[in-house]
Every structure is written in structure tokens, then in C-alpha cells.
Structure 1
Amino acid sequence: MLRVKNLTSGYDRSQILFDISFEVGPGEVVCLMGRNGMGKTTTVRALMGLLPAWDGAVEFEGRRLTGLSAARVARQGLGLVPEGRQVFSNLTVHENLLVVAANRRGEAQPWTVDRVYELFPGLHERNGSYANLLSGGEQQMLAIGRALMTNPRLLILDEATEGLAPVIRDQIWACIGRLRQLGQSIVVIDKHIQRLLEVADRFFVVEKGRTVWSGAPSRVRAEEAVVKAYLSV
């Protein structure tokens, strides 16, 4: 589904990505891991067309994404939950969901506002509240629901549980597990190895702008000390 090969990118003259390679198959949950500042968010921005790819290839369902604008990348079926949530603060919960609603591929069971409320009942209770009045956890749920309303073929979650209370984290992990059961392809950036082992099919570790380690959950368990060493400060 998604194939990233030898991707390089950066900001102005500062190169951040030197050799990023990973793949996501249909229905897979793939995790990108690494310490802060290693290039994970830059990778996401390059995938989504928010940064230019300097070299390498990004293909989605056989179509080349490199060189496309962010809007055109999104239309190909990629949905992003960005780091920092970035909900529309001057819109209500309901309006945040409706403003991005699209079913460009004609999914038989598309994501609707009611389905999002079923996934996150707390949002239904706050549907008339402005987004800037929500808690951080509620905003994260809204950001995920908003991305789902575009009916993405691939959902990208950047720092899905960063800074959230444990009880909210549990709800986000339950959501990811539910989406996996529904066959949603997902790229998730997170550091919580034990929770990721419950939902992820493959892991890729990023260090200094390069993919330096990859493996299935069985390899993560067998080499957990190695993986934790990559994540430690």
C-alpha cells in the first residue's frame, strides 16, 4: 500500500532525513519509533507533502506521491492526526467533524459523525462545545475523528498518546485496536512499546534521519533491550 524508499528531506538547507525506508501493507498497523528529534515528524511531513522530498521515492497504492501538494496527497487517501492535534479551535466538535467530511472513494460503510460518536462517546456529549474548550484528551479524540471523517485509506497518527493522562491513553489504544479490527491501515508514532505490541504488525526505528532497525512484534520481544536503547536518552 505505502512504500517509502531512501527518502531524504529537510528544512531549507538543513537536512533532517538521510535514508528513511519502510512499508505499510493493507490492513497493517506499522509503528515508527525513535527518540525526539530523530526525524519521525519530518518523515510524516514529507509523506504528506508538507515538506518537499529531496530524493527517494514515496508510493501509495502504486501512485507516486513525491512532488504532490499536501491537498493532492490527502485526496489520494492519506489522513493525518498531527502532533499537537491542531483542531479548529473556533469551531464546535460537530463542526470540526463535518467540515472535512469526504468519501471520495465511495466506501460502502463510510465514516460518519454518528460512527465517530460511537467510537468516542465523550465527543457526543460535547458535540456543541468549541474545540478550544476541550481537554487535551478530548482534542486528541476529535483530531482522530476528524481524520477518520475523510475516510482515509491510510491513517497516520503522530505522537498519538503524547502528554495524555493514562486513562485517556487507554481510550486511544482501544481506538487503535478497534480500527485495526476494522481493517484500517495505520502508521502510528509512539514510544509505549508494551501497548504497541498489542496493536502493531511491524516496527521501524528511526535514528538521526535513518531507518536503523525493523522487525515484527516477535523480534521486538526478543531484542527489547536493543529497541529500548534506541529510544533512551
Structure 2
Amino acid sequence: MTTESIEAAERLTHVRAAMGRAARLTGRAADDINLIAVSKTQAMDAIRPLIEAGQRVFGENRVQEAQGKWPALREDSPALVLHLVGQLQSNKAADAVALFDIIHSLDRPSLLTALAKAMDAADKRVPCFLQVNIGAEPQKGGCPIAEVPALIRAARDADIPLLGLMCVPPEGIEPAPFFALLAKMAREEGLTRLSMGMSGDFETAIMLGATDIRVGTALFGERPSAARPVPASGRGMIRNSRAE
């Protein structure tokens, strides 16, 4: 094995051990939680060692970036599963449906309409998480809490497979109350999966019911470059900057 592969295996082992410790506190096992390795801004050469170490589930924030990496990576490893964990623009819905296996960022009626149309055209149903703006932060994506029940009903009416709820808690604040609120909302709507928890708080998320955690830095190390600049107009902004 190369040095990169050894280091990737060590990081993966460390994360899975932490998952196991947290899961046992709630009567679960690490295998009950889906570990999504968030590979946004990571080059293919940085992703391959983690694949070699046994990781099979990955997440990307941007459709265009994923299109440049994952078709080639999947040629070598067809069993890989790819999640879209970042904000999705409606005009990218068809591309997202074509490339991703699961989408975590359904958060508004206009996107629901675009996704339903794209799924119908592709004759493909892509399971989705409904993203909740759990901290009521105006700069972030996510459905307002009060509008979640209506959006869930609309998704079900549109035959979009709804897996559960997703959130990104406010930065710099204890995340546990936000995770607990998301879990309560999911129970009330009969949804069983919770996409919550990132590199710095995934153990807390697991103890509060997370079924899917989005981990980037703990698996890849610090990212090689900063996020792309926001256009001067603000349009096209990727608002969910903490998707891992």
C-alpha cells in the first residue's frame, strides 16, 4: 500500500471507531449509521486512497464538480454510492438526477417541481432528504421549519421517494438541541432517517439518532483550497457552506 492509502485507512478506522462508541450508547452499532465521505474540492487522487481503504459512500456539494470526477472513479469502482449534500439549483435538477444516487437538499417547492420533472423524464426515482433550516438562518438553504409538513406532503404527492430530514446546525452553537429538534420533526412525520452530523459533531448527532453522517475533514484532512468566490450579485451562491 502507498503512504496515502495507509493514512486514509487510519483516518477511516479512527472515524468508524468513534461512530461505534457513539452508536453503542444508543443501542446501535456503527454499521447502523451510513458514513458519507464528503469529497468536495478533493482531487481524484485524494479520493482513490479512501476507496482503496474500503469506503464506498461519498458526498459532493456541487453538481458540476462531481461531473468532473465521479464518472471516471465509478468506472474503476462501480459499487460506489454518490450523495449530493450541497445546495441544489433548480436548473441543475436533471444533471443531479442523472448523476447522484441520493439527494440531501430538497428544500423548496420550485426545486421539488424541477426534480419531479427530471425524474419523470429520466424514468428514475432518486431518494431525497428534505433539508430543514433548523436554525432559521437567512443565509442558509433549507426549508423553514413551519413549511416542512407542506413540503413533505408535496413530495409524497409528486412521487419523490422521501428518506428523511437533513440539517446543518448554526456554527459556533451547541448542535445537540438542533439535532434533537430534527429528530422530533422526523418522528412526527413518520420519517426514519436523519442526515445530520459532520466532522466536528457526528458523535453527538449519532447519540441523538443520526442515521447518515457527512464527514469530510476527519477523513481527508484540511481541504486543499477555499470555497469558490460568491458572484458579486449573490446569485448562484452555494449557501450551505458547512455541508460536511
- TM-score grouping bracket, smaller chain normalisation: 0.3 to 0.5
Q: Judging by fraction of residues, say which structure has more helix.
A: 2
TM-score (norm 2): 0.35
- What is the TM-score of this pair, normalised by structure 1? 0.37
